[in-house]
Structure 1
Amino acid sequence: MSLLSMFNLLNVFIRHVSKQNVLGKLQYSSQVLPQFSSEKFNKTRKEFSLVELKDIDYFKKILDKNRVLTEESDVLPFNIDWFKNCRGQSKVVLKPKSAQEVSQILSYCNQRKIAVCPQGGNTGVVGGGVPMFDEVILNLSLMNQIISLDDISGTLVCEAGCILENLDNYVREHELIMPLDLGAKGTCHIGGNVSTNAGGIRLLRYGNLHGSILGVEAVKADGTIVNCLKTLKKDNTGYHLKHLFIGSEGTLGVVTKVAIHCPVKPKSVTVGLFGLHNFENILKLYRSAKSSLGEILSAFEMCDRDALNSSSKYLKQSLPISEYPFYVLVETHGSNETHDEEKLTQFLSKEMESGLVLDGTVTSEPGKMQNIWSFRESIPAADLAGAYLHTYDVSLPQNCYYEIVPLLRERLGNKARVSGFGHIGDGNIHIDVIVPEYSTEVTNLIEPFLFEEVAKRNGSVSAEHGLGCRKPHLIHYSVDETAVQLMRDLKNVMDPNGILNPYKVLPDDGV
Structure 2
Amino acid sequence: MPLDLGAKGSCQIGGNISTNAGGLRLFRYGSLHATVLGLEVVLPDGTILDVLNTLKKDNTGYHLSHLFIGAEGTLGFVTKVVIQCPVKPSSTHVTFLGVDSFDTVLKIVKLARSNLGEILSSCEMMDHEGVQSVSSKFDIQIPVKKCPFYMLLETSGSNQEHDSAKLSKFLEDGLENNVILDAVMFSEQSKIQKIWPLQRCGSCLKDATYNYDISLSLQDFYSIIPIMRERLKDQDVVTVCGYGHLGDGNLHVNISVREPNPAVYALVEPFIYEWTSQHKGSISAEHGIGLAKKHVIHLSKSETSLTLMRQIKQMMDPNQIMNPYKVF
Tell me which interval the TM-score lies in, with the shorter structure as reference length: over 0.9
Kindly report the root-mean-square deviation, in angstroms, between the aligned alpha carbons of the 2 structures.
0.9
| Equivalent position of 2:272 in the other structure | 450
Q: 2 CA distance for matches of 1:335 and 1:405?
A: 38
Aligned residue pairs total: 326
| Equivalent position of 2:226 in the other structure | 406
Look up the equivalent residue of 2:42 and give its one-letter code.
Answer: V
Look up the equivalent residue of 1:425 and give its one-letter code.
Answer: G
User: What stretches of structure 1 move > 3 A for 4+ residues in a row?
Assistant: none
| Equivalent position of 1:424 in the other structure | 246
Correspondence 1:264 to 2:87: yes
| 1:440 Cα offset (Å) | 1.8
| 1:314 Cα offset (Å) | 1.5
Q: 1 CA distance for matches of 2:322 and 2:259?
A: 32
Correspondence 1:487 to 2:327: no
Q: 1 CA distance for matches of 2:251 and 2:236?
A: 22
Look up the equivalent residue of 1:197 and give its one-letter code.
Answer: N
Q: 1 CA distance for matches of 2:140 and 2:246?
A: 25
Residue aligned with 2:169, SS: helix
| 1:186 Cα offset (Å) | 1.8
Say whether the 8 Å CA contact 1:197–1:210 is kept in structure 2: yes
Q: 1 CA distance for matches of 2:231 and 2:301?
A: 27
Q: 1 CA distance for matches of 2:248 and 2:70?
A: 17
Q: 2 CA distance for matches of 1:203 and 1:180?
A: 8
Structure 2, unpaired ranges of 5+: none
Deviations 1:390-441 (CA, angstroms, capped at 9, x unpaired): 1101011111110000000000114322100001121110000111111221
| 1:230 Cα offset (Å) | 1.4
Correspondence 1:332 to 2:155: yes
Say whether the 8 Å CA contact 1:341–1:362 is kept in structure 2: no
Q: 1 CA distance for matches of 2:64 and 2:115?
A: 39
In the superposition, the TM-score normalised over structure 1's length comes to 0.63
In percent, how many aligned pairs have the same letter?
52
Q: 2 CA distance for matches of 1:244 and 1:368?
A: 40
| Equivalent position of 1:209 in the other structure | 32
Q: 1 CA distance for matches of 2:56 and 2:247?
A: 25
| 1:335 Cα offset (Å) | 1.1
Residue aligned with 1:283, SS: helix
In the superposition, the TM-score normalised over structure 2's length comes to 0.97
Correspondence 1:500 to 2:322: yes
| Equivalent position of 1:308 in the other structure | 131
Q: 1 CA distance for matches of 2:168 and 2:48?
A: 52
Which range moved further: 204-213 or 315-324? 315-324
Map of 1:71-470 to 2, 5 A cutoff? 178-377=1-200, 379-383=201-205, 385=206, 387-413=207-233, 414-416=235-237, 417-470=239-292
Higher relative contact order (CA 8 A, sep 6+): 2
| 1:452 Cα offset (Å) | 1.2
Q: 2 CA distance for matches of 1:411 and 1:210?
A: 37
Q: 2 CA distance for matches of 1:244 and 1:305?
A: 39
Residue aligned with 2:122, SS: strand
